Amino acid sequence: MKLEKKVEEKLLAYIKEIFANDSWTLAHSLSAVGIIKQIAKSEGADEKILATTMYLHDIGYGGLLADGYSFSQRIAAKKEHMPKGAKMARDFLGRIGGYTEEEISQIAHLIEVHDNVDALKTQDELLVLEADSLASIDPKVPFSFSEEDVVKYVDFFLNHRATRFVSKKGKELLEKFSTQNKVFAGMAGKFKK
């Protein structure tokens, strides 16, 4: 199913408010939405479920991280942001309407597990992983962390994220972003030896 414009406007307004002081996560979330739409289209997957999930996947960080947070603070909040975000998504989607109970449960589940990358199995879980991963190396959304932290991130990405891509479109975009994102390409080149 497609995501309706009117509903999409509400999702956008909601995350803009949550990430008012976290422009990286806002840009990351919007990038993830654009990417999942392309992937959902080429895979014939459910855009309404997946695009809603990408809008909301990181809302659990809202309120957990103070402005100007460091990479290690973000890592420390990682485990908690998933159940917190799933609960916030349930409340928000129930409030705005336009979603069945079943749809809300699917979206909340995807948010609740999205960063447990090694445990992801279903097609929807893996497509969310692809969009989240790609958005994190989107050349238009540059890394906001220190070089040392980017090294750690790229290492993790190559071993736990890039290896799990299943869709044709996702793999295509992975190749494109890995080249266009010069910081990523430079680091990845060092790891390959």
Residues in touch with Fe ion (CB under 5 A)? 58, 115
Residue closer to Fe ion, measured from CB, 12 or 185:
12
Q: How far apart, in whole angstroms, are the C-alpha atoms of residue 115 and residue 132?
A: 9
Nearest-approach distance from CB 30 to Fe ion, in angstroms: 14
Nearest-approach distance from CB 65 to Fe ion, in angstroms: 12
Residue closer to Fe ion, measured from CB, 2 or 32:
32
Residue closer to Fe ion, measured from CB, 20 or 179:
20
Residue of minimal Cβ distance to Fe ion? 58
Residue closer to Fe ion, measured from CB, 58 or 138:
58
Q: Please, which residues have CB within 8 angstroms of residue 186's CB and are 6 or more apart in sequence?
A: none
Answer for the pair 72, 152: CB distance below 8 angstroms, yes or no: no
Residue closer to Fe ion, measured from CB, 58 or 112:
58
Nearest-approach distance from CB 190 to Fe ion, in angstroms: 26
Nearest residue to 189 via CA among 146, 165, 158, 160: 158
Q: How far apart, in whole angstroms, are the C-alpha atoms of residue 143 and residue 150?
A: 7
Q: How far apart, in whole angstroms, are the C-alpha atoms of residue 62 and residue 142?
A: 20
Nearest-approach distance from CB 58 to Fe ion, in angstroms: 4
Structure-token pair, residue 69: 């947070």
DSSP 25: H
Nearest-approach distance from CB 177 to Fe ion, in angstroms: 18
